C-alpha cells in the first residue's frame, strides 16, 4: 500500500513478530506523515493521525517520542564545547531551543553562542531576546527560557 517493507522484520516463529512482518509488508513503513488513499494523515506503519477516524498517539507514545528527541538533541549538541561547558539547566535551554527551531537555525545565533562561550549569560539572553524567534514563540516562553539561561535555574 505505502511501499514495500519486505525484509525489515526478520522471520520468526513468534506470532506477534509474524504479525508485525505481515502488517509492515502490507502497510509499508513511512518515517514522515503522508496522506493515505482515503485522504487521512498517516505515519509509521499505517498509524492514522486524523482526529475523526484515527487512533492518533497515546500520551505514552507522545512522551516516548519527546524523550527520544531530547536524547538525540543532547547527543548532537554534545559535539560543541559551548554546549558541554554549560550547567544542566542551561544545556536544557539549548536542547529546548534546538527542539523548537532545529540545530541549523540555533547555530545561526552566533552572538548568543559567543556569549555562552564566555559565560556572559545576560548578553546571551539579550541576543536571544533580540531575535525574531522571541516574538514568534511569545513572551511567556521566551521569558521563561531567558530566565533559565540567565540564572541557571528554573523559576
Please tell me whether residues 68 and 46 are part of one structural domain.
no
User: For every one of its 155 residues, what pLDDT tens digit does the chain have, with 9 covering 90 and above?
Assistant: 444 444 455 667 889 999 999 999 999 999 999 999 999 999 999 999 999 999 999 999 999 999 999 999 999 999 999 999 999 999 999 999 999 999 999 999 999 999 999 999 999 999 999 999 999 999 999 999 999 999 999 99
Please tell me whether residues 86 and 145 are part of one structural domain.
yes
Total structural domains within the chain: 2
Please tell me whether residues 131 and 63 are part of one structural domain.
yes
Report angle CA 104, 94, 85 to the nearest 5 degrees.
110
Please tell me whether residues 6 and 51 are part of one structural domain.
yes
Could you tell me the sign of the dihedral formed by the alpha carbons of 136, 103, 83, 119, in that order?
negative
Which CATH number do you get for residue 147? 1.10.530.40
Instruction: Identify the domain containing residue 63 by its residue range.
Output: 59-151
Please tell me whether residues 39 and 88 are part of one structural domain.
no
Contact 149, 124 (CB under 8 A): yes
pLDDT tens per residue, range 2-28: 444 444 556 678 899 999 999 999 999
Residues 6+ apart with CB under 8 A from 62: none
pTM of the entire predicted model: 0.83
Contact 109, 131 (CB under 8 A): yes
Contact 150, 122 (CB under 8 A): yes
Please tell me whether residues 38 and 81 are part of one structural domain.
no
Could you tell me the sign of the dihedral formed by the alpha carbons of 60, 18, 16, 26, in that order?
positive
Please tell me whether residues 118 and 143 are part of one structural domain.
yes
Return phi, psi of residue 35, to 5°: -95, 120
Q: Across the chain, where does the E strand assignment appear?
A: 30-35, 41-44, 47-48
Please tell me whether residues 46 and 63 are part of one structural domain.
no
pLDDT tens per residue, range 41-56: 999 999 999 999 999 9
The Cα–Cα gap between 1 and 63 comes to 29
- Other CB atoms closer than 10 Å to residue 109's CB: what's the count? 19
Please tell me whether residues 85 and 135 are part of one structural domain.
yes
Amino acid at each position: 500500500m505505502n511501499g514495500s517493507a519486505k525484509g525489515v522484520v526478520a522471520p520468526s516463529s513468534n506470532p506477534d513478530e509474524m504479525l508485525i512482518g505481515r502488517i509492515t509488508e502490507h502497510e509499508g513503513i513511512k518515517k514522515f506523515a503522508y496522506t493515505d488513499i482515503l485522504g487521512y494523515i498517516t505515519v509509521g506503519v499505517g498509524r492514522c493521525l486524523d482526529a475523526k477516524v484515527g487512533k492518533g498517539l497515546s500520551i505514552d507514545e507522545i512522551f516516548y517520542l519527546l524523550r527520544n528527541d531530547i536524547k538525540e538533541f543532547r547527543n548532537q549538541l554534545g559535539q560543541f564545547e559551548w554546549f558541554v561547558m554549560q550547567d544542566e539547566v542551561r544545556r536544557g535551554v539549548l536542547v529546548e531551543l534546538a527542539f523548537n527551531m532545529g540545530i541549523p537555525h540555533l547555530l545561526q545565533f552566533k552572538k548568543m553562542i559567543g556569549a555562552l562561550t564566555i559565560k556572559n549569560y545576560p548578553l546571551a539572553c539579550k541576543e536571544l531576546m533580540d531575535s525574531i524567534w522571541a516574538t514568534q514563540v511569545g513572551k511567556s516562553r521566551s521569558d521563561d527560557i531567558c530566565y533559565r539561561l540567565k540564572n541557571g535555574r528554573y523559576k
